[in-house]
Structures are given as structure tokens and as C-alpha cells.
Amino acid sequence: MSLKQAAMGESVLVVRVNADGSIRRRLQDLGITTGAELTPLSFAEGNMIVRVHDARIAVNDELARTITVTKRPAFAL
């Protein structure tokens, strides 16, 4: 599923970033890389705020569609 489809407050893991060139490098600089944990915090007017590590980042609708994520597995203790 794309990041756009992730539920608010649910942690997801990045599986793939379908962007090229400067956009891909910018996402990498922000910590959005394969294996990164993201948490959508809010949605407004086609944009979303996501938590990446200890930062909050605004991602527009088009860019959110290029980031493929999966639900974070629940581990039993």
C-alpha cells in the first residue's frame, strides 16, 4: 500500500521509494528510506504530517503515493 493509504497513528515500514533523482535524495536526507519506520500523524488538504525518527515532516499527496509501505509487524513478548 502507499503511504497515502496508511492509517493515522499506525506505524508502517517503508518497503520501497518509487522516486528518482533529486526527490529520492531529498527523501533519503529526511530519513525516508527502505526499512524506515513512519507514523502518519495528521492529514489536511492533500498533505500529511509523518513522524520519521524524532522529526515531523510534511509530505504532499503526490509524494505520499510514491512511498510503498507495509504495516509494522506486532511482536509478542
Describe the strand order of the beta sheet including 37-44 as a list of residue ranges. Answer: 55-60, 47-52, 37-44, 12-17, 67-71
Report the CATH number of the 3-71 domain.
2.30.30.90
pLDDT in the model for residue 44: 86
Confidence of residue 1 (pLDDT cuts 50, 70, 90): very high
Where residue 49 falls among pLDDT bands split at 50, 70, 90?
A: very high
CA angle 1, 62, 4 (to 5 degrees): 30
